[in-house]
Chain A
Amino acid sequence: MSKIKCAIIGPGNIGTDLLYKLMRSDVLEPVWMVGVDPTSAGLARARDLGLKTTDQGVDGMIDHVIADGVQIAFDATSAYVHAENSRKLNALGVLMIDLTPAAIGPLCVPPVNLAGLVGRQVMNVNMVTCAGQATIPMVNAVSSVQKVDYAEIIATVASLSIGPGTRKNIDEFTRTTSGAVEKVGGASKGKAIVVVNPADPPLMMRDTVYCETAEEPDREAITASVHKMIAEVQKYVPGYRLKNGPTFDGRKVAIFLEVEGLGDFLPKYAGNLDIMTASAARAAEMFAQEILAGTLELKPVPAEEAA
């Protein structure tokens, strides 16, 4: 079976971990790794694995996109350069999967809304944040049973797993996540809290989700819905686990999660990075299956229409 060819922009930890996941895919084939630093270890690694590489950014790949049949690109750089990368590649009919907090395109949390996005002919989807990928499925599991007035998520990540970009822009991280708790999770109001823990050995990513339901919570239905959603996420993040709960206290529902990474390239404690790359790969696979089945045709986005 033929595969959809992909490019990864950003050969850092995320891009490299993603590369390992794409190489296992039945429907995706990574062919390009794009960087900006000729001495990058990530570019060298990708080259050794048989990918074409450039250290000239997206411009270094742009003339080869059509000839090499690239149809999907993942951006694991930063919000500042994403818009430009997206514009250039969308113009050539390449679908962008955005792992930065730029959020130009619709927010995507695969088990919640990916199926809906595939039918909308979008050319750019944003993968929210790691905290969003870990918690929004649970908010949705509750809000699909009954109305959630307020949802709050607390994400704790190991200090070693959070890079300088996120640290410098922690406000964007919390705001993007709380916005997505509302828009994708389905809570009327959302709040996100992030804690960076430096323990050594590093702690595994922990996430807590509190939902306040409008009416008395239906304990059985919520518990069943939470377990069903856990199983959905486990399909692409096997280390996604319910540690405790759901517990019920008045209208408050509490769900305690742990995310262990696969350890593809990043250590297992970095479940936060694993769930980002796994979600991005999952989203791309769903689009790829539609392209291969002929139900989705990617169309170039003229520059003047691009975001």
Chain B
Amino acid sequence: MATLESTVRGKRVKLHDMSLRDGMHSMRHQIPLAKMVEIASGLDAAGVPLIQVTHGDGLGGSSLNYGRGLHTDEEYLRAVVPAVKNATISVLHVPGIGTLDELRMAADCGVGCVHVATHCTEADVSEQHIGLGRELGLDTVGFLMMAHMTTVEKLVEQALLMESYGAQTVYCVDSAGYMLPDDVTARVSAIRGVLKPETEIGFHGHHNLGMGCANSIAAIASGATRIDGSVAGFGAGAGNTPLEVFAAVLERMGVETGIDVFALMDVAEDSVLPMMAKPPRADRDALTLGYAGVYSTFLYPAKDCERKYGVPARDILIELGRKRMIGGQEDMIEDTALTMARERGLLGSDSKGVEETTPA
């Protein structure tokens, strides 16, 4: 019987670091410029081929809804792009949040790759953005988020749509850290089975159930050649697949990444960890995301609402999951907390609900 190791040994995989994009969530989008340059340079020197840099919600994400960045995307990109020697800098772009002008700006800053992200069933809002990515000569990736929320068949259809718009790589994204290895295998192998041989497949995991590395191995065994992770696991929820851990695992399994594992460990330990107030961990709220299939980015705003309105973050997250809220709907966290607080009699007169006072 083929073992996992015999299936993946000898494969070549590109690792993509998310610490300066997904990790922005853990830092509430407040990473100082110098720190970003330091981490990016460290990753570059360790041989990480792709490094993503933007607001946690992608280009144009700096907002009241998602939190304002310490600097603009342009300031971050203009600082980081010239500081790396070999790595390609990438950006996240979510149609509906970022605009085409912002993607043009990023290309002008010298980025080489874009992840165009949509919810797993809404690929057809990405046509303009994938098209522009290609037109600008970027390595253009279609990024299907919350991929656990739809069937394998539907996900395959959506992957085909993104490919038809020009995406050169299509990702299965476990935004909630909900998937188990069999879920990943089913999805990645189905997508691999229908896309053109030259189209690459990627996987982006979260560590809310501690499955980041295992799921990513399953993805490689099913044909994925690009894997996202984050040095020191720095990312939304309980973090992304910890990149230095995953690089070490791949080396043991004989998968080629071109990464210097010790150098990557040092970036995690010496550059990233000292910046973090709390290392990402599957605490009860982050674990709830993975357990209930809720968007990882909802974690910190839900904790804020717990402090503000006295409703436990876990209860808010479960309710958001029940209401089938998806990536981008951060505004619904406070709305849901307010409604729950009112129902539980926790709301002071200050932010009183209005349904009682609205004429019928």
Option from B99, B119, B150, B339 in Cβ contact (under 8 Å) with A244: B339
A156: interface (CB < 8 Å): yes
B87-100 vs A, CB cutoff 8 Å, 1 = contact: the mask equals 00000000111011
Residue among A203, A231, A234 with max Cβ neighbours from chain B (10 Å): A203
B3: interface (CB < 8 Å): no
Option from A150, A196, A206, A247 in Cβ contact (under 8 Å) with B125: A196
B256-300 vs A, CB cutoff 8 Å, 1 = contact: the mask equals 000000000000000000000000000000000000000000000
Option from A150, A198, A210 in Cβ contact (under 8 Å) with B121: A198
Q: What is the number of contacts between chain A and chain B, taking CB atoms within 8 Å?
A: 112
Contact indicator B97/A193 (Cβ below 8 Å): yes
Check A252/B354 contact, CB under 8 A, given A170-B128, A171-B99. no
Contact indicator A244/B338 (Cβ below 8 Å): yes
Residue among A168, A170, A195, A203 with max Cβ neighbours from chain B (10 Å): A195
Residue among A171, A194, A208, A252 with max Cβ neighbours from chain B (10 Å): A171
Complex Cα distance A227/B353, Å? 12
Query: How many whole Å from A196's CB to the nearest CB in chain B?
Result: 5
A212: interface (CB < 8 Å): yes
B127: interface (CB < 8 Å): yes
Q: What band does the interface of chain B fall in when counting residues whose beta carbon is under 8 Å from A?
A: 35 or more
Contact indicator A203/B354 (Cβ below 8 Å): no
By beta carbon, the residue of chain B nearest A257 is B335
Contact indicator B329/A197 (Cβ below 8 Å): yes
Contact indicator A231/B128 (Cβ below 8 Å): no
By beta carbon, the residue of chain B nearest A242 is B354
Contact indicator A171/B331 (Cβ below 8 Å): no
Complex interface: chain A residues within 8 A of B100 (CB): 171
Option from B327, B332, B354 in Cβ contact (under 8 Å) with A206: B332
Complex Cα distance A168/B127, Å? 6
Query: How many whole Å from A145's CB to the nearest CB in chain B?
Result: 17
Contact indicator B325/A197 (Cβ below 8 Å): yes
Complex Cα distance A10/B321, Å? 38
Query: How many whole Å from A53's CB to the nearest CB in chain B?
Result: 30
Option from B99, B350, B358 in Cβ contact (under 8 Å) with A175: B99
Check A152/B63 contact, CB under 8 A, given A171-B128, A256-B338. yes
B334: interface (CB < 8 Å): yes
Complex interface: chain B residues within 8 A of A171 (CB): 95, 99-100, 128-129
B49: interface (CB < 8 Å): no
Closest 8 pairs between A and B when the two form their complex, measured CB to CB: A199-B324, A208-B331, A195-B328, A244-B338, A210-B64, A194-B96, A198-B121, A256-B335
Contact indicator A170/B125 (Cβ below 8 Å): yes
Complex interface: chain A residues within 8 A of B334 (CB): 244, 247, 254, 256
Option from B64, B124, B127, B335 in Cβ contact (under 8 Å) with A212: B64
A199-249 residues with Cβ-Cβ distance < 8 A to B are 199, 203, 206, 208, 210, 212, 227, 230-231, 234, 241-245, 247-248
Contact indicator A193/B63 (Cβ below 8 Å): yes
A294: interface (CB < 8 Å): no
Name the prevailing secondary structure of the A interface residues.
strand
Contact indicator B331/A154 (Cβ below 8 Å): yes
Complex interface: chain A residues within 8 A of B338 (CB): 244-245, 247, 256
Complex Cα distance A150/B63, Å? 10
Complex Cα distance A78/B205, Å? 40
By beta carbon, the residue of chain A nearest B128 is A171
A29-67 vs B, CB cutoff 8 Å, 1 = contact: the mask equals 000000000000000000000000000000000000000
Name the prevailing secondary structure of the B interface residues.
loop
Q: Which residues on A are within 8 Å of B, measured CB to CB?
A: 150, 152, 154, 156, 159, 164, 167-171, 174-175, 191, 193-199, 203, 206, 208, 210, 212, 227, 230-231, 234, 241-245, 247-248, 252, 254, 256
Query: How many whole Å from A150's CB to the nearest CB in chain B?
Result: 8
Contact indicator B339/A174 (Cβ below 8 Å): no
Complex Cα distance A157/B331, Å? 13
B314-360 residues with Cβ-Cβ distance < 8 A to A are 323-332, 334-335, 338-339, 350-351, 353-355, 357-359
Option from A174, A203, A227, A247 in Cβ contact (under 8 Å) with B99: A174
Apart from A152-B64, A197-B326, what are 9 other A-B pairs with CB-CB below 8 Å?
A: A154-B65, A167-B125, A170-B125, A174-B99, A193-B96, A195-B326, A199-B323, A247-B351, A256-B331
Complex interface: chain B residues within 8 A of A242 (CB): 354-355, 358
B122: interface (CB < 8 Å): yes
Complex Cα distance A168/B129, Å? 10
Complex Cα distance A170/B330, Å? 20
Contact indicator B64/A164 (Cβ below 8 Å): no
Complex Cα distance A206/B326, Å? 13
Contact indicator A196/B96 (Cβ below 8 Å): yes
By beta carbon, the residue of chain B nearest A173 is B96
Query: How many whole Å from B128's CB to the nearest CB in chain A?
Result: 5
Complex interface: chain A residues within 8 A of B332 (CB): 156, 206, 208
Complex interface: chain B residues within 8 A of A159 (CB): 121-122
Option from B96, B127, B354 in Cβ contact (under 8 Å) with A195: B96
Query: How many whole Å from B9's CB to the nearest CB in chain A?
Result: 39
Contact indicator B64/A252 (Cβ below 8 Å): yes
By beta carbon, the residue of chain A nearest B328 is A195
Please name 18 pairs of A and B residues whose Cβ atoms are closer than 8 Å in the assembled complex, sorted by A: A156-B329, A159-B121, A159-B122, A167-B122, A167-B124, A168-B124, A171-B129, A193-B96, A195-B327, A196-B125, A198-B119, A210-B65, A227-B354, A241-B355, A243-B339, A244-B335, A245-B354, A247-B351
By beta carbon, the residue of chain B nearest A252 is B64
Complex Cα distance A199/B322, Å? 10
Option from A170, A196, A212, A245 in Cβ contact (under 8 Å) with B119: A196
Contact indicator B125/A231 (Cβ below 8 Å): no
Complex Cα distance A105/B355, Å? 37
Query: How many whole Å from B351's CB to the nearest CB in chain A?
Result: 4
B135-154 vs A, CB cutoff 8 Å, 1 = contact: the mask equals 00000000000000010000
